[in-house]
Amino acid sequence: METWTVETDDGGGQLEVHTFRPASNASIPGSHAPAEPSGVVVIHGTLVTDSLYWPFARNLSIMLKRPVHCYNRRGRGRSAPQPAGYSAETEIADLQVVMEKSGSTDVVAHSYGGFVALQAARTAKINRLVTYDAAVSLSGNLHGRWRPELEAAVTAGQLDHAWAHLVQGLGTAGPISYLPMGALRMLSILSAQTRLGAEMRALLPTAVAEMRAVLDADAHLHDFTKLATPTLMLSGGWSPSYFAETGRVLAGAVPAIDFAIVPLQFHEGPLRPGKRLAARMARFLSNGSRSPAAAT
């Protein structure tokens, strides 16, 4: 793995990038190395850093025989903080910078990252795109998921309360999402003793800004009708149903979009061990045309 940085185009600082390359044969001394194939950029979701996606990115790189680049979005790792005027446009510009500097043409995106990628594909040049549980607000369908109590709790420093509202509102933690608030607050307290749990709590302020960005960019079907990027929208069979509903609606209205369910997968599918999901995405990215997967 290689770690490097790129400068943002708004003067806000840098973005931390981690690159995975497939093992290659040693070159013959004195020969010219072959040109490296174009890369794939992975955009992570909310409340996490890109490090959780490293095993997935490594598998994808090996399967595609291409470099795969993960980057920490604003507010994480050595990347710049979220600016005061943070919005979807901030993320779109950052994605374009990473794609340009890494020589990438394709994008794989999870959850909030899927929202960023689909917004970017409406105006930016992306060769092929795969999303998993893309958090797109379509005709207001995600407004009911927003809880004002979340932002109030973050502002007051009540992070256990904020985490509980986030988990219940989004429903992305599987059966845990349906626990009572008191039980969720206790789980937050316990998980804060772990490195991952403490990291998630620290990222709660970024989640507030990101959820607002999704709602502010609420779109309608006609906003995507001119999308030309061949796109495969995937959703986990055990993910909250609203992800699949959005994917089906978009695939039914936009010729460039296909949708498919990946059975036996939770919302955090790209973060879990195993190669099945990466293999499904690699097949699509390896094709010169759209995926043969039919909408389900």
Distance separating alpha carbons of residues 42 and 10, to the nearest angstrom: 21
Distance separating alpha carbons of residues 42 and 72, to the nearest angstrom: 10
3-state secondary structure of 113: helix
Distance separating alpha carbons of residues 228 and 244, to the nearest angstrom: 21
pLDDT of residue 186: 94
pLDDT of residue 148: 82
Q: One-letter amino acid identity for 78?
A: R
pLDDT of residue 74: 98
pLDDT of residue 229: 98
Q: Where are the alpha helices (DSSP H) in the chain?
A: 54-64, 88-102, 112-121, 148-155, 159-170, 181-191, 195-202, 204-216, 241-253, 276-286
Block residue for tokens 């290689």: 2
pLDDT of residue 296: 41
Distance separating alpha carbons of residues 63 and 197, to the nearest angstrom: 31
Handedness of CA 153, 155, 158, 160 (dihedral sign): positive
Taking alpha carbons only, the member of 282, 285, 290 closest to residue 63 is: 282
Asked if 224 contacts 255 with a C-beta cutoff of 8 angstroms, the reply is no
| Greatest C-alpha distance within the chain | 67
Block residue for tokens 């995507």: 224
Distance separating alpha carbons of residues 289 and 231, to the nearest angstrom: 10
pLDDT of residue 28: 43
pLDDT of residue 64: 97
How far from 127 is each of 11, 20, 63, 256, CA to CA, in Å?
Answer: 27, 20, 18, 12
**Weakly modelled stretches of the chain, pLDDT under 70:** 24-34, 288-296
Q: What is the pTM of this model?
A: 0.92
Distance separating alpha carbons of residues 76 and 50, to the nearest angstrom: 9
Query: Residue 95 corresponds to which tokens in the numbers above?
Result: 């994605």
